[in-house]
Chain A
Amino acid sequence: MSTLLEKHIVELLREGDEKAISLLYEHYGDTLYGVALKVVKDEELAQDVVQESFVKIWKKSDTYDPSKAKLFTWLFRITRNAAIDKLRSLSTKTDREIQIDVSDVYSVGVEGIQPELMDMRKHLRSIDPKYQEVLEALFFEGMTQQEASEELDIPLGTIKSRLKIGLRELKKIYAPAVLLACLILTMP
């Protein structure tokens, strides 16, 4: 999407320039915070997760290999893992259930929804919930496929195929929006 920006950020990271962190926060902060929030379901915790993730990103910047993953994929992996680790460190299952309850209240009125995403969100709803459920469980709940299979009471094979189809279905909903976003971004 923004390969030039990606390259620039990666270069700054390599040089150990703190500007890289500012730029990363500016372009990926909301998304990564959203990912963390989805996993830990607590604002305070999500902030901790994002903070820890950025420190990790800063420290591990020399391990990033652009030929193996897009910048976002790398950032996502770090943040997701940090969030899951956070959840695990909080351990007891009851804790986790309490958090889930809290988050249900919270997620209804999220502040700062970006308007350009509203449209896509509407489209997201058009994706069969059975795919969404699997995507959410695997991407954000930090479940392994095995755990998702048990939690959702769906056979493991079905989880696998729904993950695949769900991911590919996504293309339909975001492709036009991305195109639009690109146009807006590239305009002088």
Chain B
Amino acid sequence: MKEKIREFLDSDLLEQYLLGTTTELESAQVERYLAMYPEVRETYEELQDNLEAYARLHAVKPPEGLRERILQSVKRERAGRSRFMRYAVAATITALFFAGASYFFWNQNQSLQQENALVNNKIRVLEADMKSQLEDVRNQFIVLNNPQTRKFMVNGNVKARELKAIAYVNPVKKLSYINVRNLPNLPVDKDYQMWAEVNGEMVNLGVLRDFGAKDKLLALPYGEKSISYITIEPKGGNSTPTVQNIVADFSY
């Protein structure tokens, strides 16, 4: 160990470290020795004292103005530093502003995306709606145009003499439609409701309303030996037909 220290002190690493001319690696080595061995530390302290003494031997009084020059340039440096601080503050504010703006735009984007999804959904619903309507119209066309279609005239009974409807039934395509041409007026608290008994089962076809469009065809569920009824029910329709209020019926 002693030998290692002597070897180290014999090298000029410590002197070079003193002058600040060692590489980073060498500095690290010197600092390790300084930390580990008191005699190295002692030599280093001595070298530092020597250097200071030697340098002081060469001290020269500088011209008068130098002190002022130095203080001025340090002040300028300091002003530069505080200018830097101002820039830093400005930069921070700018950064915060952009962060806020980013959040705002992100938020907006998010709500636009939601809206977009909503619109897309609506379009899909509309599309499906249109398809089914188109299908309906196509079927109507088939029924009306087909030579095998049978046409029934439906008349109202005593309770509604003015009721007139035309039913179209095509057993080949298994499609049936009814066109209600005329319905007598009802008290405001009553509605006409359409029913169909298909394969022994009563199907609610809904309330007949809004007969402004007189050429509207209403699809009927198809079945062998079905019967269709129109009844008068309380406003809004009923869940089962009221038999005594049947105003028209026809079988197909």
Instruction: Report which A residues bind B (CB closer than 8 A).
Output: 1, 16, 18, 21-22, 25, 29-35, 37-38, 43, 46-47, 50-51, 54-55, 58-59, 68-70, 72-73, 76-77, 80-81, 110-114, 117, 120-121, 124, 135, 138-140, 144-145, 160, 163-164, 167-168, 170-171, 173-174, 177-178
Contacts and interface: CB of A to CB of B under 8 A. Distances in A.
Main secondary structure, interface of B, reads: helix
A21 B62 contact: no
Interface string B171-193: 00000000000000000000000
Contacts of A51: 66, 69-70, 73
A51 B74 CA distance: 9
Interface stretch (B46-54, B98-106, B121-129, B232-240): B46-54
> Which bracket fits the contact residues of B?
35 or more
A124 B58 CA distance: 11
Closest 3 CB pairs of A and B: A112-B61, A174-B53, A77-B20
Contacts, number: 143
A180 to B, nearest CB: 12
B77 interface: yes
Given A33-B62, A77-B19, A81-B20, A59 B77 contact: yes
17 contacts: A30-B61, A31-B59, A33-B62, A47-B69, A54-B74, A55-B70, A72-B52, A73-B18, A76-B55, A77-B20, A112-B61, A121-B57, A164-B15, A167-B15, A171-B50, A174-B54, A177-B53
A1 B49 CA distance: 8
